[in-house]
Structure 1
Amino acid sequence: MSSQRGESAVQAPVRRRGLDRTHWLYLAVIAAVVLGVAVGLLFPGKDGFAAQLKPLGDGFISLIKMMITPIIFCTIVLGIGSIAKAATVGKVGGLVLVYFAAMSTFALAIGLVVGNFVPIGAGLHLQDAVYKTTAEASSTQEFVLGIIPTTMFSALTTGNILQTLLIALLTGFALQRLGKTGKAVLTGIAHLQAVVFRILMMIMWLAPVGAFGAIAAVVALTGWKAVGSLALLMFAFYLTCALFIVVILGGLLKLVTGVNIFKLMRYLGREYLLIVSTSSSDVALPRLIAKMEHLGVSKPVVGITVPMGYSFNLDGTAIYLTMASLFIANAMGKPLDIAAQIGLLVFMVIASKGAAGVTGAGLATLAGGLAAHRPDLVGGVSFIVGIDRFMSEARALTNFTGNAVATLLMGTWVKEIDAEKVSRVLDKLEPFDESSLMEHEEAPVADDGAAPRKELEPAGV
């Protein structure tokens, strides 16, 4: 009788919220990229048919740019509120925030290091194949003074990302000091954010059109060189994520807890398959909570670390943002100097929190970072659209693994973990009971890196 119950539990279907729509969008982007490459090769040259498709990519990037300011404002204001709230949970919450901030920064730095050593995007010369934008500030003084908006509200209408960031930070800290009034305003901003993300999701359904136009135009001008450069970026990104998981996360996990990263990954094997098959990590959130509790980490630690990790621990997304930025800069023949790279890193650490799990928010964050430091490079984002979907699984898997490792580290540091049970579970002596997922079935879900919310991105950030 018990064996039948166990068998039925194992065979219980897993909810795949929003799978159909996101699945079709993913397939449409892949088809658009293949078709764009074919058209670009068939109709080469600046005056060919493929080159005339460039406005399709330009228009899509213009729509993404339109959403940058409201996305940055809403996510930063709400992110500061989340951090303030998280700090009240005591020792675990504070430790989690420090760890997540350190690891996100470290992941961003790794992306920069790899991007500087691997010649991703070099030699493409895409200046004439992408959307044109305004030039960057002419001097350091102009750049610094330009951060201060003319009025508080003009920052939200002029499209200056650093001005938006400044106003968002000031607003977030001010709301922290207003008590109940501040909470009411935060609730209103959360509703505004829902509207903004809904619009962004609508725009993302044009991603196949934008990807087709951008890829066709670039391939028409550069030929197979563009395809090879994109392939090199994808290979470098996947390799960097794999090394980050095995060497950095695995080494830290072994040093602190004594747990082998490969045993942990084997334990989470079904979750990895779900993430790859759905191109989303939202379905894996309740399963991660249940499995971490079964592994021997206390419920309070799991309940704090895992949901916060989906908002603040974006290792894969961080690597993607920095490598994509360097790729665009190199491809357009305008490489970023060290000062610009460090400024971009700081911006990404702040701006990526809480938005990476929503459709298109990763692209919007990437465009926002470039707009803040090198606005002349924003047009290159149109070239990234075509392969963004191909790198989504690596982002999601890296973010997911980072959150699993963080949970074990937190449990060890605050002494809220059963080390003996961890060994038994990872050695397959105490298998996970799928029926235990029932109590987690209503847990809030979020995508890789985003605060829990509905209608999340089919890919990790």
Structure 2
Amino acid sequence: MKLLGKLYIQVLIAMALAIALGLIAPDLAVQMKPLGTAFIALLKMLLGPIIFFTVVHGIAHIGDFRRLGRIGIKTLVYFEVVSTLAMLVGFTVVSLVRPGDGLHASLTTLGSEAASSSAAVAADSFSLGHFMMSIIPRTLASAFVDGDILPVLFVSVLVGIALAQCAKPDWVGLRLLTEGQTVVFKLLSYIMRLSPLGAFGAMSAAVGSYGHSTLLYLLRYILTYYASTLIFIFLVLGSVAALAGLSLLKILRVIKEEAIIAMGTASSEAAFPRLVDKLKQAGCDEAVVGFVLPAGYSFNIDGACLYMACGLGFLAQATDTSLSLGQQISLLGVMMLTSKGGAGAAGGAVIKLAATLQSVKVLPMGAVGLLFGIDRILAIATSTTNVIGNSVAVFVICRWEKLFDRERFDAYLAPSNATRSAPLKPLEENSP
């Protein structure tokens, strides 16, 4: 009975029940979708305030702006290198397994134009200038209204720098900032109690909508994609963690609840609020968490990079399109740009894939429709990989900057540590 009190156990049970309902009564399962949608909406409601308070609080207390600049440069370099490795893994696995061979989907895609029309519209509007301008909000308030991470991060960094330069250590505004964090995370603790319901609704709708026929038709690709995520997590991220003197398995133990929540809801945003608090409890510096984690949700979306690389390879095989080495390199370069932003948005990865196809035009846009039926199934692995990748990034950057508390990390993983299964506490209580 004690195990049933743990949130991740409740989420796993909810997922199992959802899969059973989706297979036994698919029509009823589809009607459960509002539970998942509502839960994600509740979390998105708090996403802006959590990013704002976390980033501003971290930067306002960092003191040394040379260190902030150094962290920023290392973070961006890390993101680009690891994201590129994710794409290379995706391309390699799909090229070896070749799950699309034999589909001859050129005729199939004629019936998917309507399904892919929304992706095409989003792709048409994509450009480097548009991406850069989307970072700057129309007003300070609109950054928190639209729900995009990049504008909120942009405003939060500016406010944090201004506070760090202007505010005195005993200024009442800094105390209010800490109190604001406490209130927001208290609200979060209430919402997270609903995560089993959210996972149940999202998973029920996915299984009930697509059923076994679609899964059987594209089963080889689904298994190929899941294999690529596992290879990336344990080979690439495991090696990166080992080079930094860390154990990937121990990191996974720390974030297992958040990874399961992302898996159950198929949304990496669902795990973000808890990750902020969890990583600090596990020995990561507050300033690094406050900067690297929000930035990672826009610039280090490893799962989306894998999705795009695997998707492009699969669609090329399915439509009998031969891609030269030069075309593959060009696609890789375009994906480095189109993969940025909107990590946890529903259907975000397939929209980015459509943007890439629209930019390069080496594959028919209608081919994207092949992935619409299984996008939700693929999103489970995509979101979980995003969460794991960004968590590893925080630990690695902390190690590089010598801001990682090994004793707190080991103490957090100790069997006697009760905080692992405890509800989230206000940040001021978790700070060293």
Q: TM-score range by the shorter chain?
A: 0.5 to 0.7
Q: TM (normalized to structure 2)? A: 0.63
Q: For residues 124 and 268 of structure 1, do their structure 2 counterparts lie closer, same or farther at Cα, with a shift above 3 Å needed?
A: same
Look up the equivalent residue of 1:168 and give its one-letter code. Answer: H
Answer whether contact 1:107 1:319 (CA < 8 A) is retained.
Answer: yes
Residue 273 of structure 1, CA deviation? 2.6
Residue 103 (structure 2) pairs with residue 113 (structure 1): no
- Tell me the CA shift for residue 15 of structure 1: 13
Question: What CA distance in whole angstroms lies between the structure 2 residues aligned with 1:322 and 1:431?
Answer: 41
Q: Does 1:276 align with 2:263?
A: yes
Unaligned runs of 5+ residues in structure 2 are: 31-54, 60-64, 114-119, 149-201
Partner amino acid, structure 1, of 2:280: E
CA shift at 1:186, angstroms?
8.8
Q: Give the Å deviation of 1:272.
A: 2.7
Q: Alpha-carbon deviation of 1:131? A: 3.1
| Corresponding residue number in structure 2 for 1:346 | 333
- Return the offset for 1:100: 0.9
Matches within 5 A, 1:188-227: none
Once the two structures are superposed, the pairs formed by residues 28-107 of structure 1 within 5 Å of their partners are 89-107=68-86
How much has 1:432 moved relative to structure 2? Answer: 2.4
The question of whether the paired residues in 1 share the 8 Å contact of 2:264 and 2:380 is answered with no
Q: State TM-score, norm by structure 1.
A: 0.59
Unaligned regions of 5+ residues in structure 1, if any? 1-6, 36-81, 135-157, 177-181, 195-204, 442-461
- Residue number in structure 1 paired with 2:127: 165
Deviations 1:115-167 (A, max 9, x none): 21111211111111113899xxxxxxxxxxxxxxxxxxxxxxx9796895244
Match of 1:244 among 209, 232, 257: 232
Q: Secondary structure at the match of 1:90?
A: helix
Deviation at 1:277, TM superposition (A): 2.6
CA deviation after TM superposition for structure 1 residue 318, in Å: 0.7
Match of 1:381 among 353, 364, 368: 368
CA distance in structure 2 between the aligned counterparts of 1:133 and 1:260, rounded to whole angstroms: 44
Whole-Å separation in 2 of the counterparts to 1:345 and 1:249: 20
Shift in Å, 1:420: 2.5
CA distance in 2, matches of 1:332, 1:13: 41
* TM-superposed deviation, 1:27: 6.2
Q: Quick one: structure 1 residues 262 and 374, their matched pair in 2 at CA, closer, same or farther if it must change by over 3 Å?
A: same
Q: Please report how far the alpha carbon of residue 188 of structure 1 lies from its aligned counterpart in structure 2 after TM superposition.
A: 6.6
User: In structure 1, what is the Cα distance between the partners aligned to 2:269 and 2:362?
Assistant: 33
* 1:426-445 correspondence to structure 2 within 5 Å: 426-432=413-419, 437-439=424-426
Alpha-carbon displacement from aligned partner over 1:36-65 (angstroms, at most 9, x marks no partner): xxxxxxxxxxxxxxxxxxxxxxxxxxxxxx
CA distance in 2, matches of 1:295, 1:400: 16
Aligned 1:5-20 pairs, distance under 5 A: none
Per-residue CA distance 1:371-416 (angstroms, 9 max, x = gap): 2222642111111111111111111111111111111101110011
Identity rate, percent: 27
For 1:128-139, what aligned pairs fall within 5 Å after superposition?
A: 128-131=107-110
CA contact 2:241–2:248 (8 Å) conserved in 1: yes
**Which residue of structure 2 aligns with residue 262 of structure 1?**
249
Q: Which of these residues, 399, 409, 414, is aligned with residue 412 of structure 1? A: 399
Are 1:15 and 1:283, in contact at CA under 8 Å, matched by a contact in 2?
A: no
Q: Is the 8 A contact 1:267 1:426 kept in 2?
A: yes
Query: Amino acid of the residue matched to residue 248 of structure 1?
Result: V
SS in 2 for 1:428: coil
- Secondary structure of the 1:130 match is helix
- Alpha-carbon distance in structure 1 between the residues aligned to 2:360 and 2:258: 38
Aligned match of 2:162: none
Q: What residue number does 2:295 align with?
A: 308
For each residue in 1:185-227, what CA deviation from the matched residue of structure 2 results, as whole angstroms up to 9, or x when unmatched? 7977986787xxxxxxxxxx9xx9xx98xx99xx9xxxx9x86
CA-atom RMSD in angstroms: 4.4
Q: Specify whether residues 440 and 186 from structure 1 end up closer, same or farther in structure 2 by C-alpha distance, changes over 3 A only.
A: same
State how far apart, in whole Å, the 1-side matches of 2:286 and 2:372 are: 39
Q: Please give the per-residue CA displacement for 1:335-391, whole angstroms capped at 9, x wherever unaligned.
A: 322222222222222112112322222221111111222264211111111111111
Instruction: Report what 1:137 is aligned to.
Output: none
Mapped partners of 1:338, 1:323: distance in 2: 16
Amino acid at match of 1:326: G
- The code of the aligned residue for 1:387 comes to I
Distance in 1, matches of 2:313 and 2:383, equals: 21
Q: Which residue of 1 aligns with 2:311?
A: 324
Tell me which amino acid in the other structure corresponds to 2:93.
V
SS in 1 for 2:271: helix
Number of residue pairs the alignment of both structures matches: 325
Q: Distance in 2 between matches of 1:183 and 1:192?
A: 9
- Whose helix proportion is higher, 1 or 2? 2
Report SS of the residue matched to 2:221.
helix
Distance 1:185 1:421, change over 3 A: closer
Q: What residue identity is the alignment partner of 2:218?
A: L
Distance 2:392 2:405 in 1: 15
* Structure 1 residues 340 and 440: CA distance shift in structure 2, 3 A: farther
3-state SS in 1 of match to 2:419 = coil
The answer for the alignment partner of 2:389 in structure 1 is 402
Distance 1:439 1:236, change over 3 A: same
